[in-house]
Amino acid sequence: MHCGCVSEGVPSSYWISGLAFPDWAYKAESSPGSRQIQLWHFILELLQKEEFRHVIAWQQGEYGEFVIKDPDEVARLWGRRKCKPQMNYDKLSRALRYYYHKRILHKTRGKRFTYKFNFSKLTFLNPPLRDAHCPSPPASACRPPGVSAGLQSELLQNMIFARQALADQLTFHRGLRDPLDMASPGNKKGTASGPQFSSLPSPCLFGFCCCGGVQDKFPRLGAFLPTIPHSGLGPHSSWQLCPPPQYPQPSSPDWWHFPSHVFQHGRSVLPLEERAHPHSPLGPPRSEALQKGVSFPAIRLQGRAFPGLPLGATRGHGSAMAGGRLGFPPDLSQPREEAEASSAESCLGVKPELELEGRPQAKGAGSLEPSGGGEGLHYPPELQGLHPPSIPCLPGFKAGCSLDPT
């Protein structure tokens, strides 16, 4: 039943194994319907490939947003993949539009051929990770051989997105989802059609970038996400640890310009440490955004302080926690075994009681609507300065999610 179509040299099996698109997603045996490559998979494949950058590429500065630079070519490639020589952009875009309702994708209004992924949805649609352990190499291995500075940046973004996605999942799963989504076909509860988040362990997200061997474990992870038009990381050649070694400067707000609604729910995720010491020496003064409540838990590794990242590590439904695979980096200075042992129990997360205010799709108010809601950052005063989640942490780490062992 070969049609001579090719897959453009892009393996359709695993390619972000363990994160968002595990290989099962492509395997026929995992689906009675002989699951084929889906369009969004394909789009992501193209996006990760350097050679298609002239055809489709991530939009700089907008996370998850991509531009189809050559619609005809993308359509041709898609048609080739699907053995549909009559494929064109009109048809392809129709398929993309079906993703709007599924919240896999949405259109960036006003920008031609520009769409944006809702990564959280993609992740949510996928099943539990099978082996998301967090290897803990020596710090010196933080940039594995072959990991370029560029990849370094991308890996960081992966981590950011992964955390974001998990945080989104968390929100999603705590019953605070958007009613529109409840009605969407992919979200029928209690069916066997989708994974249950309660059984979804968090990957060691930090491990993606901070732990060595990421190339081996996640060979294609690096190209998954758009390049951060960098604020504090790129120029640093040392690749010591993934997050920028300091808070972003107010002059370079890119760092906290995450599109996710995760950051728009009036939730301060400031670590206790930060709250207790508003002028903490751990970093420069908080930016305007941070003051508004967009902040990340501080992380200390090897004596250095980092801005936290939007964390999705979940205590979620208990059982997930009991599984103990939560995304937090071990202290890289620890001996490997020790670090692994602790990483198995580590966790850190945003307070999972995120609110979904309004429907993302609601015109002008949706957090997922990039062109509609402006910043969309509304933080009721009463929600500012809330305590961080009471989340089980690494042994020896304070609840409050600093990684600073005390």
Partner DNA sequence: ATCGGAACCT
Partner DNA sequence: AGGTTCCGAT
Binding positions for DNA, rule: CB under 7 A = 33, 38-40, 71, 78-79, 82, 84, 86-87, 89-95, 97-100, 102, 107, 109, 111-114, 185-186, 193
- Beta carbon of residue 125, minimum distance to DNA (angstroms, whole number): 7
What distance, in Å, lies between the first and last C-alpha atoms of the chain?
Answer: 62
- State how far the Cα of 288 lies from the Cα of 292, in Å rounded to an integer: 6
- Beta carbon of residue 39, minimum distance to DNA (angstroms, whole number): 4
The residue (of 94 and 189) whose beta carbon lies closer to DNA is 94
Coil vs helix vs strand at 67: strand
- Beta carbon of residue 172, minimum distance to DNA (angstroms, whole number): 17
Calculate the CA 204 to chain-centre distance. Answer: 12
Calculate the CA 142 to chain-centre distance. Answer: 20
- Beta carbon of residue 279, minimum distance to DNA (angstroms, whole number): 45
The residue (of 185 and 381) whose beta carbon lies closer to DNA is 185
Length of the chain: 406
DSSP character at residue 143: S
- State how far the Cα of 88 lies from the Cα of 297, in Å rounded to an integer: 46
The residue (of 186 and 405) whose beta carbon lies closer to DNA is 186
Measured at the CA of 218, the angle between CA 52 and CA 236, to 5 degrees, comes to 80
C-alpha distances (whole Å) from 354 to each of 167, 169, 261 are 9, 11, 9
The residue (of 50 and 90) whose beta carbon lies closer to DNA is 90
- Beta carbon of residue 63, minimum distance to DNA (angstroms, whole number): 19
The residue (of 5 and 276) whose beta carbon lies closer to DNA is 5
- Beta carbon of residue 82, minimum distance to DNA (angstroms, whole number): 4
The residue (of 81 and 217) whose beta carbon lies closer to DNA is 81
Coil vs helix vs strand at 301: strand
Calculate the CA 344 to chain-centre distance. Answer: 20
For residue 340, which amino acid is it? Answer: E
The residue (of 33 and 303) whose beta carbon lies closer to DNA is 33
Do 208 and 388 meet the contact criterion of CB atoms below 8 Å apart? no
- Beta carbon of residue 93, minimum distance to DNA (angstroms, whole number): 6
